[in-house]
Structure 1
Amino acid sequence: MTESIQDLSLTIGNNRNHWQDFLRDQGLTDFTDQEISAIDRTVVLVDDQGQWVGTGSVAGQTIKYLAVVNDGTQNAGARFNRLVSELENRLAQAGIFHLFVFTKPQYQSSFEHVGFTTLAKTDWGLILEKGTPDIEAFRRSLPVHAQPGQRVGALVMNANPFTRGHRYLVEQAAQENDLVYLFVVSQDVSLFTAAERLNLVRAGMADLTNVVVARGGDYMVSYLSFPAYFIPGNEETIRYQTALDAELFKQQIARPLGISRRYIGTEPQSPTTNLYNQTLKARLPPEVAVIEVDRVQVSGSNQVISASAVRALIKSGDLDGLADLVPESTGQFIKNHYQDLHERILKG
């Protein structure tokens, strides 16, 4: 039997419908537009009768939608291995040597058999990785590690941009812990670039010596574990993704680093972030206590300090209220780069 790999464009003709029908037959059913739009390439495995017997896709550095026809013979395993090898080779040709898989729990052993390591798992899905730099390298890259007996807290924030509200939340954590990890979301899809946000957080926290500011990388609130944070999804999708992100944090970040507390701010404005907070409170304890801190208000008003309020001032061109919302370092950056930021927000 001769089987061949062929490229498939999901935007041509009836290819997407045919592909989705094939995957449904193999038990895969998540075809939201946000998931499909992220796909960079898709291949199919075709037998000598012209029938599809397998398929796999790549989105960035993540293998998705991999499934093969299981006919009860050893063909299924061989097909699976061939597709994984093909996609790995395609990624290597593109200079990508650190791979992730986002898949169903029933495929865990198959991917582990070809060298992938499981990072996190829920009843709905799991994330695996292969190659370098991996999660161990990420943890080693942190500039400070806790000493025995220290109480360690953590926060994860986008900080688009860093505000007095963010500062207040971190201060609470710094007062209650010996060491605090502050992870800044690394996805570059916000008004302020990932590098700008990281630098603003560092500048705004420079006087708190027990706070370690670091990139969140691929492992915290990323396209890998929580794409609905960046591209709107339905509530069910958000719940699945937040559960996996929370498990990834608990198993691969909190447990090895000795983190016993995670701090979050109340979220009256974003339904997605509010659902995420609820998931963290359900998933992290008892190993990691979730400390929810009320959002701080502008002095003498009922206005909650938020990054969205800062972005609104940039859009309107009225920077008079900045001092009430952001630390001096953030305010100065905005004033120095106002024209560029204003153009970005109008294009956005």
Structure 2
Amino acid sequence: MDKVVDLFLSDAATRQKWENLLSSLDLHNFSAREVDQIDHTIGLVDEDGKLVGTGSVAGNVLKYVGVINEDTQGARFNKVVTNLLQYLAEQKIYHSFVFTKAKYASSFEHLHFNLLAKTDEAAFLENGMPDVNDFLSDLPKVEDQADKKIAAIVMNANPFTLGHQHLVKMASEENDLVYVFVVANDVSLFNFNERMKLVQEGTKQFANVKVVSGGDYMVSPATFPAYFLKSPDELIDVQTSVDAAVFKNKIAPALNIARRYIGQEPISRTTHFYNVSLAHELGPDIEVITVKRLEKSGQIVTATQVRQWIKDGDLAKINKFVPESTYEFIKQNMSELQSRIEKGMNIDGN
């Protein structure tokens, strides 16, 4: 009978066996971006001591699940996934996700995972509670919402700038209700609670705007697992497709959202590609409105530039790009923000 064992990937020999098994199953991405996030890994060892299965968890996400099935009719797969869920339960984590190849979606569904999105390449599923329906039911609503013109904006706001405020203002003027979803992943210079507060402060003048957490359902490129993709180049394409599918099929119908506003991207090639792909994936059911980026003194307002000025300690320049509430927060917390950068926090990207 196969035995479940803990695998410690810090051991070179164990790591090599683990990679060899997964490579034989057509999983080849063992980059630091993927592996360093892993909190726990198990292995399935047969009676001859051969590694025949494995699975890992990173936070509440299952990763690198793979087994040599032979004639076990899914028993090995079930054993690995069940063991990972038991481990999460021991950590008091009762809600989990998996991003996997599309062809494996049904295997997870047999173990009571619910499908959130499926594209040609990938599937995104969840298990446990609270689930997407709980997330949606907790979001604020308005009277006669089904009859309203409703839009959405998804932003990281790292930090919230005058450019973000300009985008929200335009959406507010053109719709009855606007949901601003703040990406919840904590991989930014400004943590989620800080970003949430800055967005709330910077939009409080717009009575028809509701600022809410994106929860686990606004999939960030920074945290989207790419281990099962053939190359890192596929990341943006597949991540965009999954993100759009969740929004289009789960989020938008429940809230009667018919429009999504995005900022034009003249600088970042990656973000521009994301925007183009998003418009393609959401249309024609959801209208994607691209708003020209705000400029100050001939310079495009970007959060990336603000973060660079934080690194440089240039409050005068920061003041030109952000609302007063963001400026005051940065001014009061400059040393802490600079300390985060000095400790290795990445300030590039979005």
* Superposition TM-score, scaled by structure 1 size: 0.91
Partner of 2:35: 36
Cα distance in 1 for partners of 2:250, 2:17 equals 38
- Secondary structure of the residue that 1:342 maps to in structure 2? helix
- Cα 1:252–1:168 change in 2 (3 A) is same
Partner-residue secondary structure (3-state), 1:76:
coil
Q: Taking structure 1 as reference, are residues 294 and 88 closer, same or farther at Cα in structure 2, changes over 3 Å only? A: same
Q: Which amino acid aligns with 1:46?
A: V
Q: Could you say which residue in structure 2 is the equivalent of 1:314?
A: 310
> Structure 2 vs 1, CA of residues 217 and 224 (structure 1 numbering), >3 Å: closer, same or farther?
farther
Q: Which residue of 1 aligns with 2:155?
A: 157
Residues 142-186 of structure 1 show CA distances to partners (whole Å, capped at 9, x for unaligned) of: 122561221111111111111111000111111111111100111
Q: Tell me whether 250-259 or 157-166 shows the greater mean CA deviation.
A: 250-259
- Residue 168 of structure 2 corresponds to which residue in structure 1? 170
Are 1:83 and 2:61 an aligned pair? Answer: no
1:340 is aligned, of 336, 340, 350, to 336
**2:321 and 2:202 mapped to 1: Cα distance?**
13
Partner residue, 2:4: 5
Contact 2:150 2:259 in 1 (8 A): yes
Structure 1 range deviating more: 277-286 or 236-245: 236-245
CA distance in structure 2 between the partners assigned to 1:127 and 1:140 by the alignment: 20
Deviation, structure 1 residue 126:
0.6
Specify the code of the residue in structure 2 equivalent to 1:45. Answer: L
Question: Contact 1:47 / 1:53 at 8 angstroms: preserved in 2?
Answer: yes
Post-superposition CA distance 1:241-266 (Å, at most 9, x none) = 22212222222212222211111111
2:126 maps to 129
How many angstroms apart in 2 are the aligned matches of 1:240 and 1:14? 33
Q: Displacement, 1:202?
A: 0.4
Secondary structure of 2:130's counterpart equals coil
Alignment partners' CA distance in 2, 1:127 and 1:224: 16
Match of 1:114 in 2: 111
**How large is the RMSD of aligned CA atoms in angstroms?**
1.9
The one of 226, 234, 239 equivalent to 2:237 is 239
Could you tell me how far apart the structure 2 residues matched to 1:262 and 1:131 are?
29
Pick aligned residue for 1:292 from 290, 293, 308: 290
Q: Is the 8 A contact 2:310 2:318 kept in 1?
A: no
Contact 2:221 2:239 in 1 (8 A): no
- Partners of 1:320 and 1:26 lie apart in 2 by 55
Moved more, 128-137 or 247-256: 247-256
Question: Quick one: distance in 2 between partners of 1:227 and 1:114?
Answer: 21
Q: Give yes or no for the alignment of 1:269 onto 2:251.
A: no
Q: Deviation digits for residues 27-75 of structure 1, max 9, x if unmatched?
A: 334433312222222211111112222211111111122122222x3x1
**1:55 is aligned to 2:51:** no
Higher relative contact order (CA 8 A, sep 6+): 2
- Contact residue 162 and residue 330 of structure 1 kept, 8 A: yes
> Does the 8 Å CA contact 1:144/1:212 hold for their aligned counterparts?
no
Tell me the distance in 2 between the aligned counterparts of 1:13 and 1:47. Answer: 21
Q: 1:285 to 1:76 in 2, by over 3 A?
A: same
| Number of residue pairs the alignment of both structures matches | 339
Conserved? CA contact 1:119–1:129, under 8 Å: yes
Contact 1:62 1:224 in 2 (8 A): no
Structure 1's unaligned 5+ residue stretches are: none
Query: For 1:102, which of 99, 102, 123 is the aligned residue?
Result: 99
The whole-number CA distance in structure 1 between the counterparts of 2:28 and 2:342 is 37
User: Secondary structure of 1:44's match?
Assistant: strand
Q: Deviations over 1:55-96 (max 9, x none)?
A: 11111111122122222x3x1322121111111111111111
1:331 aligns with 2:327: yes
The SS at the match of 1:162 is coil
Runs of 4+ with >4 A deviation: none
Structure 1 residues 322 and 54, CA, compared in 2 at 3 Å: closer, same or farther?
A: closer
Corresponding letter in the other structure for 1:173: A
**Secondary structure, counterpart of 1:222 in structure 2:** coil
- Per-residue Cα deviation, 1:2-28 (whole angstroms, up to 9, x for no partner): 210111122312333322222233333
In 2, are the aligned partners of 1:187 and 1:223 still within 8 Å (CA)? no
CA distance in 2, matches of 1:118, 1:224: 22
SS of equivalent to 1:321: helix
TM-score normalised according to structure 2 size? 0.91
Separation in structure 1 between the aligned mates of residue 157 and residue 54 of structure 2, nearest angstrom: 39
